[in-house]
A and B are shown apart, each in its own frame.
Chain A
């Protein structure tokens, strides 16, 4: 099985889930469509289109995955994880501290910039953004337990 056809199977499964969820919400009638009406039809069309893509991918042996060059999946996973942790700690530790940690990690670890320079840039960026957003634009950024 090619990657493309397993991808199509994923969309079919999603379509079925959407249709199922839609029936539970209630489809209503054509004269008075219910909450699930649009979801049901969208799910159904998704299933039909995915079947078309599936048939297409089974017929041609060509792999239709984008040649994007080697993606560094380990790095990508690390960045994504760091962003999830950022979201988790943002309101607990405050904007400035979490941002310094995140940027130092991104610059120093992911982009392999000199650690000391990464830390300096991270501090400057975190404080600069705090000044711009919080003080100038009056957009409330989370302060956390330390109050900044």
Chain B
């Protein structure tokens, strides 16, 4: 513990360097901005900014990119409360009571409690990161290829289990993601695979053009001519500081939301959206007046907002200590780490302590910046929404194209982005979810290597996955998650989608 505190102090030393502070500020500001704007999310933004970070040192780059992750959680609540439009998928629940509070003239306290709740939860999850990530990384040093394979299988199973529509479809997307991720040279024999003689495919398909297409351009295409101008909350927002009664009612929900978000975020495959729904449901269950939920209860804002922020911290733990992303957003961060030449995994903390502790300390500083950015500056963020969507959509497309191109200075990446934008659009039309695809796309090559190494290790026996206790536990959990819905009608994801 003491060692962690010393390391954290070292982290603050790094995070407080002027350059890192600047990039932290840029990150959280961008995060808030895209959080506020519907139509572009943190996942696409991180991908967009990826090329811009190549000339930076990796620490500043990761500080900025993670700032986008948690900054978006703050920004998303603003539009949920004021406009009933979730700027982010992970702020959907906040609309339910937040917008009702705004309609009752209590927009101020709603915004205030969501910012403070986010701050408290963010701080809590950083403390959790400091405690858990190094411990988990030490533990993960015992992992061999079978454990890694089983862990990734578990992550993909959880993603499929949490699918909002069809679990089979989510699994299909995961499999397609693995296939796409493995295109390129064989990591062991260097045989070109599914490259169709195209030289640019030999290195595989890049994560950036795929994400730009699926999350950036596809979103714009879907909204072409559909998205009308948002009705902007006209009333003056006053009293951003919640009063004593508000605090009394919110403190429990914030604490529960933080705990729930953090621990669910730890599980590979969960991400930030599901915990939010669960925290709302939990508060409703615990409330003495569950019937009032949906009509402007502050508990219904405090808990989910705390929850989605804590979950972001939670998702960083498997990313930084195991090298396993748990959602599309952290999948791109993993891609970024690899591009900077770092090897994500249990040794990251030992080999690059400056990166690990610097990023954690910067998250603490970033949360303070966000509190300042989000409370007094709310009118400014609201006015951002007055930018006509026509301009916004054209610029999103342009940034996606630049982002896709500049990674390798190759126009084939633009073609790939365009192809995936069409794929993304069709996926939306036919209710396939993009998240399992992106996650599996990143995990694919790691999964393949782990599987092949395990089989070589065991002399071809699949029982190696069951003979080793840790991997057996992961496999068992995956089987339960995949098989359980066959026997019970109840599935979390579907339940959530009915709550929408």
**B186 close to A83 (CB less than 8 A):** no
Question: Is B7 interfacial (CB-CB < 8 Å)?
Answer: no
Does B222 count as interface, using CB distance less than 8 angstroms? Answer: yes
CB contacts between A and B, total, < 8 Å: 172
Contact indicator per residue, chain B 447-488, by CB within 8 Å of chain A (1) or not (0): 110011001100111100000000000000000000000000
Contact status of A137 and B55, CB under 8 A, knowing A18-B179, A30-B460, A71-B222: yes
Q: What B residues does A26 contact at CB under 8 A?
A: 191
Q: Which residues of A contact B189 (CB under 8 A)?
A: 34-35
Is B380 an interface residue, CB under 8 A from the partner? no
A83: B residues at CB distance < 8 A: 217, 397, 401, 414, 418, 421
Task: From B224, B226, B429, give the contact of A65 (CB < 8 A).
Answer: B429
Q: How far, in whole Å, are A106 and B394 apart by their CA atoms in the complex?
A: 6
Residue A58 interfacial (CB < 8 Å): no
Task: Say whether A16 faces chain B, with CB atoms less than 8 Å apart.
Answer: no
Q: Which of B83-91, B166-174, B331-339 is near enough to bind chain A? A: B166-174
Q: Does B402 touch A at the CB level, under 8 Å?
A: yes
Decide if A61 is an interface residue (CB 8 Å cutoff).
no
Interface of chain A, main secondary structure: helix
Check if B456 sits within 8 Å of A25, measured CB to CB: no
A90 to B401, CA, bound (A): 10
Q: Please, which residues of chain B bring their CB within 8 A of the CB of A71?
A: 222, 224, 226, 425, 429
Contact indicator per residue, chain B 223-236, by CB within 8 Å of chain A (1) or not (0): 01110000000000
Could you say which residues of chain B place their CB within 8 Å of the CB of A25? 191, 193
A7 to B462, CA, bound (A): 33
CA distance A91 to B401 in the complex (A): 13
Contact of B430 among A18, A42, A66, A75 (CB under 8 A): A66
Chain A positions within 8 Å of B179 at CB level:
18, 39, 42-43, 46
- Return chain B residues, CB-CB under 8 Å to A3: 430
Cβ contacts under 8 Å, B447 to chain A = 38
Contact between chains at B168 and A56 (CB < 8 Å): yes
Are B390 and A68 closer than 8 Å at their CB atoms? Answer: no
Taking a contact as CB atoms under 8 Å apart, the answer to whether A86 and B186 are in contact is no
What's the least CB distance linking A133 to chain B, in Å?
A: 6
Nearest chain B CB to A55 CB, angstrom units:
10
Residues of A near B135 (CB, < 8 A) are none
In the complex, B406 has a CB within 8 A of chain A: yes
The answer on a CB contact under 8 Å between B430 and A35 is: no
Cβ-based interface call for B431 (8 A): yes
In contact, B224 and A68 (Cβ under 8 angstroms): no
Query: Quick check: is A93 within 8 A (CB to CB) of the other chain?
Result: no
Is A103 positioned at the interface, with any CB of B under 8 Å from its CB?
Answer: yes
- Assess whether A46 is in contact with B193, with CB atoms less than 8 Å apart: no
Contacts of A79 in B (CB 8 A): 221, 224, 397
CB-contact partner of B169 in A30, A42, A53, A137, under 8 A: A53
- Given A33-B451, A113-B390, A133 and B52 touching (CB < 8 A)? yes
In B155-188, which residues have CB < 8 Å from any A CB?
165-166, 168-169, 171-172, 175-176, 178-179, 182, 186, 188
Q: Is A127 an interface residue (CB 8 A)?
A: no
Nearest A residue to B51 by beta-carbon distance? A139
Q: Which B residues are CB-close (under 8 A) to A140?
A: 406, 409
B16 close to chain A: CB less than 8 A: no
B422 neighbours in A (Cβ, 8 Å): 80
Q: Interface code A109-145, partner B: CB below 8 Å = 1, 0 otherwise?
A: 0111100000001000100010001000111111000
If A76-B425, A80-B422 touch, whether A38 touches B226 (CB-CB below 8 Å) is: no
CB-CB nearest 6 A-B residue pairs: A111-B390, A31-B460, A30-B460, A87-B414, A35-B186, A106-B394
Instruction: Give me the interface of B with A, judged by CB distance under 8 Å.
Output: 51-52, 54-55, 165-166, 168-169, 171-172, 175-176, 178-179, 182, 186, 188-189, 191, 193-194, 217, 221-222, 224-226, 388, 390-391, 393-395, 397-398, 401-402, 405-406, 409, 411, 414-415, 418, 421-422, 425, 428-431, 444, 447-448, 451-452, 455-456, 459-462
What are 13 A-B pairs with beta-carbon distances under 8 A?
A: A18-B179, A30-B461, A38-B444, A39-B179, A52-B168, A56-B168, A66-B428, A71-B429, A76-B224, A83-B397, A86-B414, A106-B393, A140-B406
Given contacts A38-B452, A70-B226, A80-B221, 20 further A-B contacts (CB under 8 A): A4-B430, A14-B176, A26-B191, A30-B460, A31-B459, A34-B189, A35-B188, A35-B189, A37-B451, A52-B168, A56-B166, A64-B165, A66-B431, A71-B224, A72-B224, A84-B418, A86-B414, A87-B418, A102-B398, A103-B394
A interface residues, Cβ below 8 angstroms from B:
3-4, 7, 11, 14, 18, 21, 25-26, 29-39, 42-43, 45-46, 49-50, 52-53, 56, 64-66, 68-72, 75-76, 79-80, 83-84, 86-88, 90-91, 99, 102-103, 106-107, 110-113, 121, 125, 129, 133, 137-142
